Amino acid sequence: MKTKEELLKEFIKNAEAACANVIPVAGDVYSIKFAVQEITEGENEILVSNSGIIEQSLFEWISDDKKYLKYFDKEKLKNTRTGITPAVCGIASSGSVVIPILDDFTSYISMLVRNHIVILDGKNIVNRPRELFDEENENIFLNGSYSIITGPSATADMGPLVRGVHGPGKLHIIVTEGYDE
């Protein structure tokens, strides 16, 4: 059995190998805010969906800044370049994040923007993809719809490997190293 720290380390290594930009942060509200600000520098509008997955207090700072849009219409959804969503879980061996498909805009953000920023609780990382379907995780993964996202959208159909096709060309993962400690 791997420890949480080992899983986190492996997750970071494999997510980077899958061409995600991984930013490990302490997990307090400021470290998350700082990481987001750094990635979104120069952006005017950023869509945010939390779906109640990440502790709400960690998102409060968003209200301070008008460029973060918690409420937006479908035109914004269609035209905004950058968006933030939570992940319910990460997978160490593949460096993937699991994004739920709920009755909000979370999954839309994760597919329509060019830059997708994911916030992942570093304690929610499983070892291998198959564990998502283990009885242990029954409450989370044995029903409902999800997309397991591994790196940016990509294709080799036009010859060389190109990142950024129908989905985001950039995937940033802000992974907390344990904010409730």
Partner 1 sequence: MNSKSIHPKEFASKANKDNLFKAIDYALAFESESVRHNTQTFNNNRYRAISQIEDYEELKNRARIIKENSIRNLPFLVEKLTETIEGRGGTVFYAKDKNEAVNFIKEICLSNSVKLAVKSKSITSEEIKLNETLEKENIEVVETDLAEFILQLSKEQPSHIVAPAIHRSRESISELFKENIKTEDPLETGEELTAFASKTLREKFLGADVGITGANLISAEEGTILLVESEGNIRLTTHLPAIHIAIAGIEKIIPTRKDFGVFIELLAASATGQVLTSYTNILEPPLKAPVLNLNKRSDKERKFYLILLDNGRMAMRNDPDLKEALYCIRCSACMNVCANFQTVGGHAFGGEYYTGGIGASWAVGTTGKLEEGRFAELCTGCSRCVPNCPVRIDIPRLNTVIKNRLLELESPSLQKMFFGYFGAMAKIVSKFPSLVNYFMKLNPIKVVLKNLLGVEIEREIPEFAEHTFVELYKKRNSQKHHQGKSEKEKQKVIVFADVFINYNNPTVGINAVELLENFGIHAELSDVYDDGRAALSQGMIQYAEKKAAQTTSYLKNLIDEGYDVIVIEPSVLTMLRNDYKKLLKDDKLYDVIKEKCYDLFEYLNMKIEKGDINIDLIKKNIRFTGEKIFYHGHCQLKSIGLGNEAPEFYRKLGINVEVSTQECCGMAGSFGYKKHYYKISKSLGLSLWEQIKNKFGSKEGIVILASGISCREQLKSFSEKKEKVYHPVEYLNRLISGK
List contacts with partner 1 (CB under 8 A).
14, 18, 74, 77-78, 91, 93-96, 101-105, 107-108, 110-112, 128-135, 141-162, 164-168
Report, in Å, the least distance between residue 29 CB and partner 1.
28
Report, in Å, the least distance between residue 57 CB and partner 1.
26
Q: Containing H/E element for 6?
A: helix 4-17
For residue 5, give the DSSP letter. Answer: H
**Which of 2, 128 has the CB closer to partner 1?**
128
**Which of 47, 58 has the CB closer to partner 1?**
47
Report, in Å, the least distance between residue 3 CB and partner 1.
19
SS (H, E, C) 46-79: EEECCCCCCCHHHHHHHHHCCCEECCCCHHHHHH
List phi, psi (to 5°) of 86.
-85, 165
**Which of 26, 148 has the CB closer to partner 1?**
148
